Chains A and B, each alone.
Chain A
């Protein structure tokens, strides 16, 4: 029983986590690549051509997983934010900051692929669909987080302010989504639907899930890699970092 709390708190120290992350991220990267290749193969070559949309619909195999991941990552950021504000750990703030750019990337990817999909479907590069609009707002939430944490120089204040912002954003996301849906249905706006009335073929679903998992593994791999850089940056005045860097220099 005694060893359990020690395990978690051991990895709460940046130095220990640096080592752990270093061992883990290559594994996640490999899994991400494998799942991604499999998912893309299924999506691009195996899944049947859609009756109404033709080949162009295949972009959903990137669009939908990217949307899912942008939301999952925001929740992960909010989780780390809550942890950081409660336990006052340095690592939580670094994890949030490591996740944010990837989340923003997925949100942007979702918007861009949404536009690429929308053009052949609707003839317009952008439609004010409830999901796309919510995705745009989520993208702004990410930019806000990145902007705020970059603008505050003092690291502890930056972490705490970012954490509060992430939590406020997370609480507001359902409200924002609900109000955007209300706005959209009230005005009989366009709706970019994945299935277009027909039920989704099994392969399509599998492909999307595989891509989602692949993106998830990618996000974890990148976040772990990025947090290692953040740890080195933040802890650069400590003994273990100076030793590590001088060892690398002599090795190089």
Chain B
């Protein structure tokens, strides 16, 4: 369970937001909404542990995330940058990501993940020749192989066509169904069917 209490964030000398309270339980997805520049990305970066908060606490299973070893294993953060090396193939990128995360990943499973996201025939090409949407699919493929309980996704649907968007939402749904949780920002609406879904509007 993730709990965010009284979080505030400042960039430079501007305060972006304050007094944010959130709880995420197993099977839940919280969709962070807000205007451009209100701090949605900053919030996600604080929750993922990359940035420090100006004040407030983020806790995983009751332990502050800075000291929680369990949190490091449970989180999966996908930001605006795709975290793909352009000179490596999509397959190589996936293998590297799995190795860094300490997860064994067989060739077959890696390929299957890429195929499931519509990259059949593209898996062995260097990422730099893929289109923007294909690159994002390659980046999202790591979600399939991941065992992380908490998905923190910053605008995951950008540059994706409708069928890919539906696919990603389906991925999210099955993740929630198996007890995972997700914190997502997106300008597009998320079709999550019957899954537990809440919206949180971030305001200045």
B11–A237 touching, CB < 8 Å: no
Contacts of B14 in A (CB 8 A): 237
B15–A154 touching, CB < 8 Å: no
B116-142 to A contact mask, C-beta < 8 Å, 1/0: 000000000000000000000000000
Query: SS class of chain A's interface: helix, strand, loop or mixed?
Result: loop
A153–B13 touching, CB < 8 Å: no
B43-54 to A contact mask, C-beta < 8 Å, 1/0: 000000000100
Answer yes or no: A10 CB below 8 A from chain B CBs: no
Answer yes or no: B12 CB below 8 A from chain A CBs: yes
B61-83 to A contact mask, C-beta < 8 Å, 1/0: 00000000000000000000000
Total number of A residues with any Cβ neighbor in B under 8 Å: 8
Total number of B residues with any Cβ neighbor in A under 8 Å: 6
Task: State how many angstroms separate the Cβ of A240 from the closest Cβ of chain B.
Answer: 14
Task: State how many angstroms separate the Cβ of A132 from the closest Cβ of chain B.
Answer: 40
Once the chains are docked, how many angstroms separate the CA of A236 from the CA of B52? 21
Answer yes or no: A189 CB below 8 A from chain B CBs: no
Which of B12, B15, B52 contacts A155 (CB under 8 A)?
A: B12
CB-nearest residue of chain B to A156: B52
Once the chains are docked, how many angstroms separate the CA of A237 from the CA of B16? 12
In the complex, which of the residues B12, B14, B15, B52 has the most CB atoms of chain A within 10 Å of its own CB atom? B12
B-contacting residues, A142-168, CB 8 Å = 153-156
Once the chains are docked, how many angstroms separate the CA of A234 from the CA of B14? 10
B3-19 to A contact mask, C-beta < 8 Å, 1/0: 00000000111110000
Contacts of A235 in B (CB 8 A): 13
Task: State how many angstroms separate the Cβ of B11 from the closest Cβ of chain A.
Answer: 7
Once the chains are docked, how many angstroms separate the CA of A222 from the CA of B11? 29
Once the chains are docked, how many angstroms separate the CA of A174 from the CA of B163? 63
Which of A156, A236, A237 contacts B15 (CB under 8 A)?
A: A237
B-contacting residues, A205-252, CB 8 Å = 234-237
A: residues with CB less than 8 A from B are 153-156, 234-237
In the complex, 12 of the A-B residue pairs with CB atoms within 8 angstroms, ordered by the A residue number, are A153-B12, A154-B11, A154-B12, A155-B12, A155-B13, A156-B52, A234-B13, A235-B13, A236-B13, A237-B13, A237-B14, A237-B15
